[in-house]
Structures are given as C-alpha cells and as structure tokens.
Amino acid sequence: MLMLASRSPRRLDLLRQLGLDPECLDVEVAERRQPGEPALDYVHRVAREKAGAGLLAAASRPDAVVLAADTEVILDGEVLGKPADAAEAAVLLRRLSGRRHEVATVVWVLSAAREGSARSVSTVDFAPLSEAAIAAYLASGEWRGKAGGYAIQGRAAAFIAHLSGSYSGVMGLPLFETAGLLRVHGVPV
C-alpha cells in the first residue's frame, strides 16, 4: 500500500498522473537548516525525516510503502524556503527576478524491507519582473506555501525564461525518478 507522507496537493496530483492513488499521511517535520549545512544535504535530510516519520505513522501497516519529498529553491547556495507572508514573498520574487536559481527535490521511498532515494536538481532562469507583475502575482495568492514564493504550474510559468531539468521536479515530485524508486519497491507504475 503506497502512502504519501505529505499534505501537498501537487504531489498527490503528480502521483495520480502515474496512475497511483496513495493514502496521505499528515507528518510534522521541522524544516530548519543546520548551521553550515550544504543546501542539497539539507533537502536530502528533510525528505528522509519526512519519510521516516511517515513510516512510523504507518507502523500498523506492514505492507506500507511510504513516499516523501522535499523541494527547495536555492539561490547562490541559500535555501529560500516558503515565505511567511506576502511581504516576504515579494522580497523572494525580487531576488529571483532576472536571475538563475536551482530547484532541488529529493524523494525518499521507505518500506519495512528497503529504502531508496533520488534527487532532481533543475536550473530555472527568471525573466526580470516588474513591480506590477510581482504585485499581481502576490494578489493571486499562488505564492502561499511554495518554496521560493512561486508555483511553476500556475501564473509564475510566465516568469520562467528557461528551465533545464525536471518540470515535475520543480513542481515538487520528479516523476521519472519517482517512478523508478517505486518500481524498485514493487509498486506498479
């Protein structure tokens, strides 16, 4: 039985694109970068902690296969995180404007018998953004709960001049890598 250790509707939708309908687990994991922790190590650790918390929550299900992921926007080695409010989202969008950044997603799949992970790092080039474009995007509310303050699958797609990597990875779950992990765990994809 596939279980998704996430509250992300995007991850659930992406898994459904693979023909899967996982049970969702609500797990709480502190998403705080340790001093000196490299950005990619941080993403890897948080995804693993989410998967571990999910496997603990599913302990009564010996057939559970738990999938968890973490996605972060990284600019010049700094993890931008999710903005707390519109003002912080505006700051993030101004920082990304006209710049290249990375979006890293790490996926972990755990079961009682095995574990595995995969990483997807995409490069995203933002076009220069006007203050009017930023204000309109903030008014849409799409920035809420999004790493870096934007959602590639929504209105922010118009900000992206170039993407090199995984579109679904930038959304929050790289489907190619995820499908491979699930097959190893006996989940038909």
Chain centroid to CA 157: 16
Tally of CB atoms within 10 A around 138: 19
- What distance in Å separates the CA atoms of residue 25 and residue 140, rounded to the nearest whole number? 28
| Nearest alpha-carbon partner for 179 in 104, 118, 99, 113 | 118
Place of tokens 């502190």: 30
Residue among 13, 41, 63, 70 flagged as catalytic: 70
70 classed as catalytic: yes
- What distance in Å separates the CA atoms of residue 67 and residue 4, rounded to the nearest whole number? 5
Taking a C-beta distance cutoff of 8 angstroms, is the pair 171, 12 a contact? no
What residues are labeled active site? 70
